[in-house]
Amino acid sequence: MSPFLSLLVGHKPPRSHTLEPVGERWPLDLPLVRFSKLDADVWTLGDACQGVLIMGENGSGKTSGSGQLIARKFLQNGFGGLVLCFKTDEADLWREYLKRAGREADGRFFSPESAFRFNFLDYEAGTSGVDFAENLVTLLVDVASIQKRTEASGSEAHFWLPQKKKLLRNAITLLLLAGHPVQLRTLYQIITDAPHFPEQTKDPQWQAKSFLFDLLRKAEEKAADHPEWELIKNYWMSERPLLPSKTRETIDADFTGMFDPLTRGKIGELFGASTNLTPDDILAGKIVVIDIPIAKYREAGQYAALIWAQLFQRAVDRRAYESPVGRPVFLWEDEAHYFTIEQDALFQTTARSKGISVVRLTQNLPNFLDAYGRDGKHKVDTLLGNHATKIFHRNGDAVTTEWSAKTIAKDTQYRHSISGSGSVSAASGPTSNVSVSEVEEDSCPPKEFIGLKNGGKKNNYTVEAILFQSGRLWRKSERWTTVRFNQR
């Protein structure tokens, strides 16, 4: 193992401040990072689009080492991007990156203090047409899954998930039939306003005050002959009031918990009536930073980031991407375990053909395992397995280092052993047997991850990491190699 400097490729940045597509080309073999002097060790756009996982303990140099280098390369090469924020200083870090890449003008910081707005329900309606209700149901269920995913599993999930979808489907379709705008606020109001027991549906006082009842009346006037009308009326007036209250509360909890923080105050305004920023801006080369950091805004920040991430991934899925004319984009998730849901694994499998590089940074494997809940192991394996490039920084977490060693896999070692018998004083003299045995050994044992340099003055601002890419050999013959990054 001999560490060597990662040399930056001198690729001339495109005229990124204007970002006119004219003359810009991004072939899949576009070099991004040169990890050694050998041409074979160039890391390209095609490699980036197979996903990047960066792991290392707190302060190991993920953000300031490998993260910084890859982020800068993406910006210098004219990528569009979506950046999700956990830490409060993440947005400033990206301001600095944009400035250094000469792309300040492309930065769009979506925060409660900004003038950007994203009415994602309108956006979804505009992009999905007749499938709107069903697509919106899926989106909201997916986003809500970030909080409750540790609870339902196995057979429970088989019961709750269809119930949750049914609730949203009936709320959204009712709004559409009544000719009322579909907004988070109105969805929230329908759910909180629905009758709690069958007699309540006949109570004139409830009928006079209820937003839900008003919608039902309007829908009946406008769409009584609609094939879904009877089903919707039945759901709200009979089926749902008959549910035991515990069951109903469990079905509602994900959505009331999500709609509440997203419809209040400044965050409510961000996702309110108007729209001046969408995932399409990212495809056109903008860098959208969701500056609602989870460290400050808690679950509101998490939902906001997830809404953007899910809609961005859908926009990427829909786009007609062709290399080399299609502009590459990236999804950046530092502290990724706060932003990752089950659907991401599936998306990751198609990312390469869609010109998107997803970069996920996290401290350790248990973070992901915790986030995915008790049945989550195979989901985590699937997700992380779909990030072909893995950069492992210093780590003392045994679960992670063992997993990393296993990921890099085993080499067959040939161990020689000599056994002797007989005595020097024996007439025939001593005899010895040489035997060779085949032993499977970790090609990168867990202890390799412990001693890596983690930057700062004491290390002369050098960060080290172990680089691995499935199906690739470095320096002609090595399954993994140690690389260095300069923090400055």
Ligand X SMILES: Nc1ncnc2c1ncn2[C@@H]1O[C@H](COP(=O)(O)OP(=O)(O)OP(=O)(O)O)[C@@H](O)[C@H]1O
Which residues here bind Mg ion, judged by CB under 5 A? 62-63
* Shortest spacing between CB 51 and ligand X, in angstroms: 19
* Shortest spacing between CB 363 and ligand X, in angstroms: 5
Q: Are 306 and 146 in contact (CB under 8 A)?
A: yes
Encoded one letter per residue, x for contact with ligand X by CB under 6 A and - for no contact, window 431-460 reads -----------------------xxx----
Among 153, 203, 461, 478, binds ligand X (CB under 6 A): 461
Interaction of residue 487 with ligand X, rule CB under 6 A: yes
* Shortest spacing between CB 67 and ligand X, in angstroms: 7
* Nearer Cβ to ligand X (254/333): 333
User: Beta-carbon neighbour count of residue 139 at 10 Å?
Assistant: 21
* Positions 62 through 101 that interact with ligand X (CB under 6 A): 62-65
279 binds, among ligand X, Mg ion, none (CB under 5 to 8 A by kind): none
Interaction of residue 61 with ligand X, rule CB under 6 A: yes
Among 189, 302, 363, 462, binds ligand X (CB under 6 A): 363
* Shortest spacing between CB 63 and Mg ion, in angstroms: 3
* Nearer Cβ to Mg ion (6/63): 63
* Nearer Cβ to ligand X (58/350): 58
Interaction of residue 360 with ligand X, rule CB under 6 A: no
Site size toward ligand X (CB under 6 A) is 16
429 backbone φψ class: left, alpha, beta (φ>0; ψ -120 to 50): left
Interaction of residue 373 with ligand X, rule CB under 6 A: no
d(CA 73, CA 42): 13
* Shortest spacing between CB 69 and ligand X, in angstroms: 11
Scanning 59-67, 159-167, 369-377, 471-479 for contacts with ligand X by CB under 6 A, the matching segment is 59-67
* Nearer Cβ to ligand X (64/313): 64
* Shortest spacing between CB 54 and ligand X, in angstroms: 8
456 binds, among Mg ion, ligand X, none (CB under 5 to 8 A by kind): ligand X
* Nearer Cβ to ligand X (482/487): 487
Interaction of residue 56 with ligand X, rule CB under 6 A: yes
Residue nearest to Mg ion (CB): 63
Scanning 60-68, 295-303, 340-348, 422-430 for contacts with ligand X by CB under 6 A, the matching segment is 60-68
Interaction of residue 59 with ligand X, rule CB under 6 A: yes
Q: Interface with ligand X by CB under 6 A: which residues? A: 56, 58-65, 363, 454-456, 461, 487-488
